[in-house]
Each structure stands twice: as structure tokens, then as C-alpha cells.
Amino acid sequence: DAGVTQSPTHLIKTRGQHVTLRCSPISGHKSVSWYQQVLGQGPQFIFQYYEKEERGRGNFPDRFSARQFPNYSSELNVNALLLGDSALYLCASSITLGRAREKLFFGSGTQLSVL
Amino acid sequence: GESVGLHLPTLSVQEGDNSIINCAYSNSASDYFIWYKQESGKGPQFIIDIRSNMDKRQGQRVTVLLNKTVKHLSLQIAATQPGDSAVYFCAETRDAGNQFYFGTGTSLTVIP
């Protein structure tokens, strides 16, 4: 079975532009989370979606938005890009969003560079 | 080799030795913990997890120890191999949303 797939793998944008990152979860997984990983640091939570609804949001500005589709795939959108948005954007999936804790399975990420 | 301190960024060990990577967490409500391995250019890869009702869990060549009293987590890797060279993150969650909080990571280098 395929793991979590993300596209594109690399992206170069300029300040002020908009970007859309895409993620397909593992087959059967209904929850998708997005994390931002700045070089040299651990991943930081941005969003979590389950059954097309936002179930959690980290401390990120409103320039960041996301959505989940009926097939459980997801998009992360970032508007008005800043140099500080340069990072590895990771998508992770898990089976459900129940009270039982579940491990996250990560994709390889999209490396975004803002010039 | 053994890391000391709570946020040692790098650890170098000889091939075949045991490695111990440490992690501290701050929130006593944290109830589920995962160790991830991240190789260059890849996303974090699940290694082992442990719930707060346990203090030890073993996997293949890896053991995780949890000390809730001092809010400390460790990952032990037996007979460390060159393929173990990577950055290791501990992650914990404490709420129903399954949002994980990651540490800053420890870079493990295995010397052949």
C-alpha cells in the first residue's frame, strides 16, 4: 500500500505569492494533519482535519488555511508568502480522530522556499 | 554512548554500541508519546510509542522508557548501526485532537 503522498516535493515562490500544497493520506485513513518544520527544529502543528472538518489549529496566522475533500485528501494554502514561511511542510495521516491516541504517519513533505 | 542533559543536539556513537537519546516534556497532561526517526530529505518515520500507563516498551532493537515523575522519555537503541544515523524526535500529545508536540530533536551519528 502507498504511504502518505505529498505534492509537489519542492517549490520556489516569491514573497507575496500564494501556494497550494497537496496531500493524499494512506488508504483507509480519515484524518489528515499538517505540520511545518523549519530547518533545525521539530515539526510544528498547523491543522488537523477529520471527515472534512477542522478539528484543530495551531498558532499560525490566518494566511494559512486548509481543507479536506470527500476522498480524505487535503490541501494546505498559504497566502501572501513571507520569507519566514520557507520550511518543510509535512502531511500526516491517521485512521480516525477518536479518544484513543493514534500514531501519525508522515509523508516526505514539500520543501517550500520563499525568495 | 549516552546523551546527557535534556536537549543535547548531537550524539556520536561507535557502530555496535548502544545509544540512549533523552527527551524532556513539560506538560503533566501528556499521555501518549512517540519516537520518530527522520533521515535527510524524508519525513519522520515512526519508531515506537508508549502510553502514559506504561513505563517501558520494547521493540526490535529499541526500548522506550517513560518516567512520568520527572517528565522524561528516553530511547535506547541496541547495537547501533550506520543506518541508525538520523535525527530523532520525541513527540507527545495531551488532548483529544491528537495534536502532537515535537521536541527539537537529537542528531545521531554512528561511526563505523
Any domain includes B87: yes
pLDDT band at B94 (very low <50, low <70, confident <90, very high): confident
Asked if residue B102 has pLDDT above 90, the reply is yes
Quote the pLDDT of residue A100: 67
Could you count the other beta carbons within 10 Å of the beta carbon of residue A107?
Answer: 24
Q: Give A 76-105 residues with CB within 8 A of chain B.
A: 90, 92, 94, 97, 99, 101-105
Quote the pLDDT of residue A26: 95
CA distances from B76 to A20, B63, B88 (A): 39, 5, 11
Chain B CB contacts of A53 below 8 Å = none
Any domain includes B2: no
Q: Which tens digits make up the pLDDT trace of A101-113?
A: 788 999 999 999 9
Average pLDDT rounded to a whole number, residues B69-95? 94
pLDDT band at B39 (very low <50, low <70, confident <90, very high): very high
The CATH number assigned to the domain holding A43 equals 2.60.40.10
Chain B CB contacts of A44 below 8 Å = 102
Q: How many distinct structural domains can be found in chain A? A: 1
pLDDT band at B96 (very low <50, low <70, confident <90, very high): low
Q: Are B38 and B86 a contacting pair, CB within 8 Å?
A: yes
Domain range spanning residue A13?
A: 5-114
The CATH number assigned to the domain holding B33 equals 2.60.40.10
pLDDT band at A89 (very low <50, low <70, confident <90, very high): very high
Pick the residue of B10, B100, B106 with the most A CBs within 10 A to test the interface with A by mutation.
Answer: B100
Say whether B89 and A43 touch across the interface (CB within 8 A): yes
Q: How many distinct structural domains can be found in chain B? A: 1
Q: Which tens digits make up the pLDDT trace of B50-76?
A: 999 999 999 999 999 999 999 999 999
Helix (H) or strand (E) holding A50: strand A44-50
Residue B86 backbone dihedrals phi, psi, to 5 degrees = 180, 180
Domain range spanning residue B39?
A: 10-111
Asked if residue B7 has pLDDT above 90, the reply is no
DSSP code of residue A83: G
Asked if residue A99 has pLDDT above 80, the reply is no
Cell numbers 494554502 correspond to: A77
pLDDT band at B12 (very low <50, low <70, confident <90, very high): very high
Say whether A97 and B98 touch across the interface (CB within 8 A): yes
CA distances from B60 to B17, B57, B78 (A): 16, 10, 9
Quote the pLDDT of residue B58: 97
Q: Which residue of A has its CA nearest to B89?
A: A42
Beta strands in chain B (DSSP E): 10-14, 19-24, 32-38, 45-51, 56-58, 62-67, 72-77, 86-93, 100-102, 106-111
Residues above pLDDT 70, as percent of chain A: 96
Chain A CB contacts of B32 below 8 Å = 101
Helix (H) or strand (E) holding A34: strand A31-37
Q: Are A54 and A61 a contacting pair, CB within 8 Å?
A: no
- Residue A32, classified by CB atoms within 10 Å of its CB into exposed (0-12), middle (13-18) or buried (19+), is buried
- Residue A83, classified by CB atoms within 10 Å of its CB into exposed (0-12), middle (13-18) or buried (19+), is exposed
Helix (H) or strand (E) holding A77: strand A74-78
Quote the pLDDT of residue B2: 41
Asked if residue B4 has pLDDT above 50, the reply is no
